[in-house]
């Protein structure tokens, strides 16, 4: 581990030197790439330097302990040593995690899709509530969330919501939300007070671009139409809504939330790129060996990952066996209550696999 970290430190120092070289800022593309790599390595290097300082302090204290005859001083040194060794162990664990193989999509923005599943109108209502919770959470994180396409439910809520979330390392956190979310509660229309179970599906796709996915323009059909639904005076007066269909795959993406046809087309294309990249990744996962699958995950969006039980104010993540009664806080945007334990669990599992495979 120390050898790897020394290599990271050397690379960090080299990038730091490159950033200060004359004329490097003139090439904005190169400069941004260097700055991004510098930022990615900085935290690891700072932690590594703190770790080395702790090792030095521990060594010096041990030497001092061996030469000290005064019993009171020996007690003080031992107390310091215990604290230093505790800090060293924490830093070592942090450094091990920092060296785990990184998901190449972790730094990307995402396309978020929420769809009502089983349960009819109740599923549509919960889809809207979960979308609101994600919106508040994104705001707390300093991310920007933009609705791209909304399909209204019969009695309110949404049958389908597609949004884009942009910001710092969005996919690294939100990727754990993909799957089936189950809700249990008494609907307002239920006269007998019986608990109703419904489901919604969440898909989190890393944003892709032309570099990730190649699309032949001849394979696209682009239709324009008038926007429908609530949206003010401009709705239904101009043909601003756009539907892009990728003929080879049959994937169709519609966007009407933007005010102009051009902006709607750009957003539709962004979603199309993400969907096509997701298809390629799913194909790769199916062809991967069992050992490789254990490392990259199944990506199965049909997996039931969480249950929201409103009568008992209980929310459970079935993947890690974690339960909390802070349901109202989570639905008000405090998703870190659920996501922090999930992220920690999967990072620990990854570390465990790496240790076994070493």
Distance CA 330, CA 337 (A): 7
Distance CA 165, CA 143 (A): 7
Q: What are the tens digits of pLDDT across the range 284-318?
A: 666 544 444 443 343 444 578 999 999 999 999 99
- Enumerate residues 6+ apart whose C-beta is below 8 A from 48: 5, 8, 9, 95
Topology at the third CATH level for domain 217-284: Double Stranded RNA Binding Domain (3.30.160)
pTM of the model: 0.68
Residues 248/215, Cβ–Cβ less than 8 Å: no
Tens digit of pLDDT per residue, the chain (358 long)?
778 888 888 888 899 888 888 888 788 888 888 888 888 888 889 988 999 999 999 999 999 988 888 889 999 999 999 999 999 988 888 787 777 777 788 888 999 999 998 888 899 999 999 999 999 999 999 999 988 888 888 888 899 999 999 998 899 999 999 999 999 998 876 657 788 899 999 989 888 866 667 788 888 898 887 766 544 444 445 567 888 889 888 888 888 877 788 888 888 888 888 888 887 777 766 654 444 444 334 344 457 899 999 999 999 999 999 999 999 999 999 999 999 999 888 888 877 776 544 4
Distance CA 139, CA 137 (A): 5
Residues 154/121, Cβ–Cβ less than 8 Å: yes
339-to-161, 203, 274, 324 alpha-carbon distances in Å: 21, 16, 23, 12
CATH number of 110-210+300-352: 3.30.70.1660
Structural domain boundaries of the chain? 2-98, 110-210+300-352, 217-284
Beta partners for residue 314, in sequence order: 309
Nearest alpha-carbon partner for 249 in 222, 219, 274, 210: 219
Q: What are the tens digits of pLDDT across the range 125-167?
A: 999 999 999 999 999 999 999 888 888 888 888 999 999 999 9
- Relative to beta strand 251-255, strand 241-246 is antiparallel
């Amino acid at each position: 581990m120390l050898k790897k970290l020394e290599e990271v430190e050397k690379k960090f120092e080299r990038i730091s030197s490159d950033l200060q070289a004359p004329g490097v800022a003139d090439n904005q593309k190169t400069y941004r790439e260097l700055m991004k790599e510098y930022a990615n390595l900085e935290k690891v290097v700072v932690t590594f330097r703190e770790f080395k300082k702790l090792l030095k302090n521990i060594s010096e204290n041990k030497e001092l302990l061996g030469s000290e005859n005064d019993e009171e001083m020996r007690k003080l040194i031992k107390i310091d040593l215990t604290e230093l060794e505790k800090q060293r162990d924490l830093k070592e664990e942090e450094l091990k995690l920092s060296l785990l193989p990184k998901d190449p999509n972790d730094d990307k923005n995402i396309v978020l899709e929420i769809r009502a599943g089983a349960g009819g109108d109740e599923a549509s209502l919960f889809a809207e509530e979960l979308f609101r919770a994600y919106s508040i959470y994104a705001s707390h994180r300093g991310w920007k969330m933009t609705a791209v396409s909304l399909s209204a439910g019969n009695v309110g809520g949404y049958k389908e919501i597609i949004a884009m979330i942009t910001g710092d390392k969005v996919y690294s956190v939100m990727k754990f939300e993909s799957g089936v979310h189950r809700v249990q509660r008494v609907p307002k229309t239920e006269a007998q007070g019986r608990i109703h179970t419904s489901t919604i599906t969440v898909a989190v796709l890393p944003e892709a671009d032309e570099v990730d996915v190649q699309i032949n323009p001849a394979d696209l059909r682009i239709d324009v139409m008038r926007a429908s639904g609530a949206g003010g005076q401009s709705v239904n007066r101009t043909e601003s809504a756009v539907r892009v269909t990728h003929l080879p795959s049959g994937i169709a993406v519609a966007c009407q939330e933007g005010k102009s046809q051009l902006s709607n087309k750009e957003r539709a294309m962004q979603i199309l790129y993400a969907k096509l990249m997701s298809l390629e990744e799913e194909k790769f996962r199916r062809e991967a060996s069992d050992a490789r699958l254990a490392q990259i995950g199944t990506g199965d969006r049909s997996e039931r990952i969480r249950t929201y039980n409103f009568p008992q104010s209980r929310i459970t993540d079935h993947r890690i066996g974690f339960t909390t009664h802070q349901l109202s806080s989570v639905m008000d945007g405090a998703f870190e209550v659920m996501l922090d334990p999930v992220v920690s669990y999967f990072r620990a599992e990854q570390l465990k696999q790496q240790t076994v495979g070493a």
